[in-house]
Amino acid sequence: MSKRTYYNTSLFGSNKAPEDYAKVITDLEKKIESRTSPQNEPYGFLLSDKPKFSKLAYAEELKRQVLTKNAQKEVEKIEKLKPAISEDFHGYPNLPQTPPNIRRQRELDMMNKLSVGLAEQVVTKKQNITAYKSLELEKARESNTLDVKKYFEEKEGKQMKKDTEKLMLINAWDQAKKTRELQSILENVERKGVIPRTVRENPKEQSIEEFKNEDEDLQVNLGLEIPMQTEKMCPEISSETMGKSKKKFNVKEKAERLKENMESKAKGTYQYKIKQLIQNAKIQREQGRNNFKKSMSPGVMLRYDASNKNSYHSQKAFKLR
Q: What is the mean pLDDT of the chain?
A: 70
- SS3 for 305? strand
Q: What is the pLDDT of residue 47?
A: 59
Global pTM reads: 0.26
Q: What is the pLDDT of residue 294?
A: 67
Q: What is the pLDDT of residue 74?
A: 94
CB within 8 Å of 221: residues ≥ 6 apart: 251
Q: What is the pLDDT of residue 71?
A: 95
- When pLDDT is averaged across residues 289-300 and rounded to a whole number, the result is 62
How many CA atoms are closer than 13 Å to the CA of 41, on its beta-carbon side?
7
- When pLDDT is averaged across residues 281-290 and rounded to a whole number, the result is 79
Q: What is the pLDDT of residue 28?
A: 83
Measured CA to CA, the distance from residue 164 to residue 150 in angstroms comes to 20
Contact by Cβ (8 Å): 66, 58:
no
Q: Where are the alpha helices (DSSP H) in 193-207?
A: 197-201
- Per-residue pLDDT for 159 more than 80? yes
pLDDT tens string 36-46? 655 555 555 55
Q: Where are the alpha helices (DSSP H) in 53-99?
A: 55-81
Contact by Cβ (8 Å): 200, 249:
yes
Q: What is the pLDDT of residue 313?
A: 45
pLDDT tens string 216-275? 554 444 444 444 444 444 444 445 555 555 555 577 777 788 878 777 777 777 677 777
Measured CA to CA, the distance from residue 178 to residue 83 in angstroms comes to 118
Question: Using N-to-C axis directions, what is the helix angle for 208-220 and 239-267, rounded to 10°?
Answer: 80
- Per-residue pLDDT for 66 more than 90? yes
Annotated domain spans of the chain: 178-286
- SS3 for 311? strand
Q: What is the pLDDT of residue 37?
A: 54
Share of the chain above pLDDT 90, in %: 21
CA end-to-end distance (rounded Å), the chain:
171
pLDDT tens string 163-192? 888 888 888 888 888 888 887 887 777 666
Which among 177, 172, 167, 183 has a CA at the least distance from the CA of 267? 172
